Amino acid sequence: MEKKIILTAEGLQNLKDELDNLKTIKRKEIAEKIKVALSFGDLSENSEYDEAKNEQAIMEARILEIEAMLKKVTIINEGELSTKIIHVGSKVKLEDKTFKETVEYRIVGSSEADPREGRISDESPVGAALLGHKAGQTVKVETPGGIVTYKILEISK
């Protein structure tokens, strides 16, 4: 069975915007680079041409990847999210007992994850361990750096 891609409405819009940008703007930019590189002549020693063709291949692969993802998307209806338990789409405030600090995360599908922005995947060790828990509970998470203990302080939308 194919894995569903779980996205928020914002995540879906970001993917659609990226796809539109790649198809309309980036394709033209790369086509122009290839055209300029071709004008230099001999392709056997034309690094500009090789680089532009490589950039084109990477971009076309990303377009195919996004199109495939969009066919398998499940949108999280944020209006229906419960704040009683943690699930994909929840915002959580946690007390990190190991490092004695408060952290906030939003649990998102793996394609939307960006830990630097506080968005962690439901498939990450922390995200997966938090799913299904309630405010007030303590959760131990086995991470690559060792076991980390979190107390769930708050769940919001």
Per-residue pLDDT of 64-99, as tens digits, reads 999 998 998 888 877 777 789 998 889 999 999 888
Domain annotation for the chain: domains and CATH numbers: 5-75 (1.10.287.180), 81-156 (3.10.50.30)
What angle (nearest 5°) sits at the alpha carbon of residue 16, between those of residues 14 and 22?
Answer: 100
Give me the pLDDT at residue 37, please: 86
Say what the pTM is: 0.70
The residue among 89, 88, 105, 99 whose CA lies nearest residue 152 is 105
Query: pLDDT tens digit string along 127-142?
Result: 999 999 999 999 999 9
Percent of the chain with pLDDT over 70: 99
Distance of alpha carbon 100 from alpha carbon 143, whole angstroms: 17
Query: pLDDT tens digit string along 28-63?
Result: 999 999 998 888 777 777 788 889 999 999 999 999
